[in-house]
Structure 1
């Protein structure tokens, strides 16, 4: 099975860095207009991406999925300029190897349909809703800005530990039983 994984605020806690940088940032809006256009193309923006902490259990959960034979594809709206630091961040933080794709916001569903992605981990409300029409399951990392996102294939989660508990012995990967969730 192919699994799509967003980076920012799904496996990397960019929001924690942003609220320290932009004091009027609101996590109820996405994207927040407080973040200047092109910020992540700047040296300061790229440094912020490189220093973000991974969410606990994210790397281990994705390593488990990869070791079970699933293909991990990282899809991000980061600028291509961040390719090197993103690859380094994934390696330093022990994420499994996988394809790394840079796409403009709004194009993940098109990519997922074309490449046969079955599961997707995402936080962006727009992307999650579009992906819900394409993949069998969208796991949405909960943030205030995406609380209203709903759909038949959407499962929200707070911690990556919840995902690990779903997929190990008797969970989704082994049984593929969606009724269990």
Structure 2
């Protein structure tokens, strides 16, 4: 089978990692419960930042957010390793800017994710990401972003949302843990 995965906030806990960095850099102590209640992908509102200031903050921390010690969600690495060992094809489809492509692949490999160059797609806007998913004719695709997930509901690919506070309004199958994937596949 062919499996497609978004990276940020699907396989790795990027937003929460960035949230802790914001607290540290801004010398604040915003509670994690406030983060978990956010209804947007962006985290700046929890710190009282407007969109412009939030964008500047994110960009100033991008290096640290993307390439330091951001953790994978529990079970993500092992699940993908197991899928690969069973002979399944693993595809990464990320909207990260293309200039982050090679370093992102390297980071994934260093953190135990199985990566093949020809199965790694980076630097796409949402509509390009959607076209890639369609063209690959994936059996399963996992993402967190509502704008992407909503547009994939009419294709044969089985689409799942990685559960996050900003996508809970969607009526779509979801994962709350990577350990659930085995159960999904056994159905």
Tell me how many residue pairs correspond in the alignment: 164
Q: CA deviation at 1:165?
A: 3.8
Between structures 1 and 2, the one with greater helix share: 2
Alignment-derived partner of residue 55 in structure 2: 36
Write out per-residue CA displacement over residues 61-107 of structure 1, whole angstroms, 9 at most, x where no aligned residue: 11111222221110111111212321122111111123211111333
CA distance in 1, matches of 2:140, 2:18: 28
CA distance in 1, matches of 2:115, 2:17: 25
Give the TM-score, by structure 1 length.
Answer: 0.80
User: After superposition, where does 1:146-157 map in structure 2 within 5 Å?
Assistant: 146-150=167-171, 154-157=172-175
Following TM superposition, the consecutive aligned residue runs of length 4 or more in structure 1 with deviations greater than 6 angstroms are none
Structure 2, gaps ≥5 residues long: 24-29, 44-50
1:45 and 2:65 equivalent? no
Query: Does the aligned pair in 2 maintain the 1:108–1:131 contact within 8 Å?
Result: no
Q: CA RMSD in A?
A: 2.2
Q: Say which one has the larger Rg.
A: 2
Q: 1:91 to 1:156 in 2, by over 3 A?
A: same
CA distance in 1, matches of 2:56, 2:127: 17
